[in-house]
Structure formats: structure tokens, C-alpha cells
Amino acid sequence: MEKLSTLIVAACFGLLVLYKFSMLILTHWFVSALIVGVATFFYAGKRLAAPATILSLIILFVLNVIFVEDSKKSEYQSEEHYQQEESFDKERLEREWQELERQSRERQERERQEREEQERFEREQQERQERLERQERQERQERERQEQASASVYNKIFNDYYGAISAHRFSDAYSLLSEREKQHQGSLESFAKGRQDVADIEILNFKVTDERESTVNADYRIKTKDNDGNGFLVRTFDGNVTFTKSAGTWKIDALSSRKIDEHRE
């Protein structure tokens, strides 16, 4: 009977050892089973085998409870530590991710500000360039307008002068001369007498070349047709006329010309 109980106990502990090995756990179970197995082997066939086995089982139970609690506590602490480590890693990763997002937002904000600053600078440059171009265009238009207005004034005087001579309105033409030019041309009678043969005067070109506050010079080309009794003598002249301002009125102050062509019709 004692041998049978010993075999049963040894078989149970053997199965327990195999189970623990199969679970790949070499803990206090293996040590306890080994102690009980050794005790059972030495007590086998002796009168104290059954009590020793029971005592060994009690000791095994107590040790198992103690070791299991310690093991559970250690496992719990290990699990808690792992969870803490995992939580710490998650927090660290989250902080790093938040920092990366913050840096990304700051970089995007800087890029946006730089882009807006560049766009504002380019817009200001373009507006400044447009203002300068508009101002230059206005100044050029104003100069052209003034030149055209001035040229029209001098051109009108010049056209009125030769138009009056062509129409034999010599007093009107004479009135357009300055006092200095009148002295150069002589009296109205002599001025008219020297132009009695004029049949027509055509102004081919008139261009202001120099304009000052009280003096203006212009180049011109005219074609005259004189009736000398033998037909019409046609001559072409290039010349220069000077206008002067006297008492607020522009007058012809000097006339000079050279003949470049002559033929009869």
C-alpha cells in the first residue's frame, strides 16, 4: 500500500514536472516537485513514507502559495512597469509628434509670411513702376501737348504771314513782324512792292527746332509761284525763322532762306 501511494505521488509529481516543462516554465514548481520526489524516493518502503509525503505536500502547498503570490506580484509589477514604460513611450512619441507638428506649423507660417512679404514687395514694386510709367507718360503727353500747342501757335503765325502775302494783304503780313524785322524789311510800301508778283506760296514743311522762354527757332520749306509777265516762276526755299515775344505777343523776328530749286511753269 505504501509503495502504491509512493508511486502515485511520484507519478503526480512527474506529470507536474512534464507539464511545467511543456509550458517552458522552470520556476519553483520544478524545485518543489524535485524536493518531494527525492523525499518520496528516500522514504519509499519505510513506515514514515506516508506522513513524510503528506508533510512534503503541505510544505509544497505553502511554498507554492508563497512563490505563486510572489510570482504574481512580480508579474504584476513587471506588467505594471511594462505598461508604464509603454505609456511613457506613447507620451514621448505623442510629445515628439506634437513638437514636429508645431515645428511644421511654424515653418508653414514662416513660409506663408515670407511669401506674403515677397508678394507685397513685388506688388509695391509693380505699383511703383506703374506710377513712374504713368507719371512719365503724363509728363510726355504734357510736353507733347505743350509742344503741339506751341508749334500750332508758331505755325499759325507762319501760315498767316505767307497766307497774307499770297492774298496780297501785305499790311496783315507786315503786322506779324517784330520791330527789328520791320526795320530790316523797310517800310510797308517797300515790303509790299517787293512782293507784288507773288501768285501763291505753299508751305511744305515747318518744324520747331529750339524753344526758349522768349525766343523760338523753326526750320521750314516753302514753294513760291511768282508771275513775272513771262509765265510762272516756281522756286523752292529752305529756311529758318525766329520768333520773339514782345509785349506778350509772338512776332516773326528774323527770316532767312536759300533757294534749292527753280523752274518755270
Task: Give CA angle at 151 (139, 248), nearest 5°.
Answer: 100
Question: Where does residue 24 fall: left (phi above 0), alpha (psi -120 to 50 degrees), or beta otherwise?
Answer: left
Q: How far does CA 180 lie from the centroid of its chain?
A: 65
Spans of the chain, pLDDT less than 50: 22-26, 47-48
pLDDT of residue 124: 92
Cell of 180: 527789328
Average pLDDT, the chain: 79
- pLDDT, one tens digit per residue, over 108-118 is 999 999 999 99
pLDDT of residue 217: 93
All structural domains of the chain, each given as residue ranges with its CATH number in brackets, are 2-84 (no CATH), 167-264 (3.10.450.100)
Cα distances from 224 to residues 166, 196, 219, 264, in angstroms, run: 9, 13, 16, 11
pTM of the model: 0.48
